[in-house]
Amino acid sequence: MTDPVSQSNSRNGLVLSLRGISKSFGAVSALTKIDLDVHAGEVVALVGDNGAGKSTLVKILAGVHLPDSGTITFCGEIVVLDDPAASLRLGIATVFQDLALCENLDVVANIFLGRELDPWRLDEVAMEIRAWTLLNELSARIPSVREPVASLSGGQRQTVAIARSLLLEPKLILLDEPTAALGVAQTAEVLDLIERVRDRGLAVVMISHNMEDVRAVADRIVVLRLGRNNGIFHPDASNQELVSAITGASNNAVSRRAERRQGSREHSGEPRP
């Protein structure tokens, strides 16, 4: 199962390296001896079924949970991420699934939330310029940064959340289900966005359930199953391979369904783009 894909991809510097990360909540082992490498300028997709431990892993990296054992090496140094501020300081930015934006505040205020310039006399002009610079770097299409976030579409909000994570010049960005709530066009926009972030030399870890999205942007696909590593794949791996790694069986609901459809049609294979 374990392809040696990771070696071929280490052309850039190693940003993050996890070794033997374990985490249990009471009697439940959420993560068991997880290894993960992420390089600069690389998108790593983290996939797995519900309960596979993806979000726990992201929360460990975001400083929300402490791992029970194992080491986290960030930019060549072993680090302890014991609170969200520690992660932010190191340069690990997280875009949470629910985005965590304040809808009553405008785009500039959201991007700079908690990190305003000039605390006793907010420098709105400088903040607005920086916000536009960030958004333009992402080729974002936001009409006005002085509108409350409530008036933005899902894709635009995602852009704001990503722009906010870029404000602190991070080295690693964690994206939890960045396309889960988005429409077709907006999903494409966010995927473009992820590619642009990667092209700026940042390391990206993306969680997603959508295999198409994963294949579209990921350089490597890391599969978790029941809290353990269950293979690393190239994005051109077949759907069948991925699904059996995710579900842990070659005979599963997805493959049976695919077989049935193949049987009923004469020529067509998998419905792939």
Partner 1 sequence: MNGDKERRATSAPLDRADERIRHDAGLAGATRAFLDRVRSGDLGALPVVIGLVIICTAFQSLNPVFLSSNNLVNLLFDCSTVGVIALGIVCVLMVGEIDLSVGSVSGFASAVVGVLWVNMEWPAWLAIFAGLVVGGAIGALYAVLFNRFGMPSFVSTLAGLLAVLGLQLYLLGSTGSINLPYGSPLVNFGQTLVMSPAVAYTLAAVTGAVIFATAFRTAARRKRAGLSARSLGSLLLRGIVITIVLELVVYYLNQDRGVPWMFGLFVALVVAMNYALTRTKWGRSMNAVGGNREAARRAGINVRRTHMTAFVLCATFAAAGGILSAARLASASQQAGTGDVNLNAIAAAVIGGTSLFGGRGSAYSALLGIIVIQSIASGLTLLDLSSSLRYMITGAVLAVAVIVDSLARRSRMSHGRA
Does residue 122 interact with partner 1 by CB under 8 A? yes
φ/ψ region of 96 (left if φ > 0, alpha if ψ in -120 to 50, else beta) reads beta
Edge-to-edge strand ranges of the sheet holding 203-207 = 92-95, 172-176, 203-207, 43-47, 220-225, 228-233
Phi, psi of 36 (to 5 degrees): -155, 135
**Bridge-based pairing state of the strands 43-47 and 77-79:** unpaired
Unique residue bearing structure tokens 């850039």:
12
Cβ proximity to partner 1: between 121 and 267 the closer is: 121
114 contacts partner 1 (rule: CB under 8 A): yes
Q: How far is the CB of 105 from partner 1 (least distance, A)?
A: 6
Q: How far is the CB of 135 from partner 1 (least distance, A)?
A: 10
Query: In the stretch 30-59, what mask flags binding to partner 1 with x, by CB under 8 A?
Result: ------------------------------
Neighbours of 203 (CB within 10 A): 26
Per-residue binding letters, 140-159, with partner 1 (x by CB under 8 A): -xxxxxxxxxxxx-------
Instruction: Give the three-class secondary structure for 64.
Output: coil
The 70-109 contact track toward partner 1, x by CB under 8 A, reads: --------------xx--x-------x--xxxxxxx---x
Distance in Å, CB of 160 to partner 1, minimum: 12
Q: How many CB atoms lie within 10 A of CB 205?
A: 26
CB of 127 to partner 1, least distance (A): 10
264 scored as a contact of partner 1 (CB under 8 A): no
Distance CA 19, CA 1 (A): 19
d(CA 108, CA 146): 7
Q: Which DSSP letter does residue 149 get?
A: G
- CB of 33 or CB of 130, closer to partner 1: 130
CB of 167 to partner 1, least distance (A): 11
Q: Which residues bind partner 1 (CB under 8 A)?
A: 84-85, 88, 96, 99-105, 109, 113-116, 119-122, 124-126, 128-129, 132, 141-152
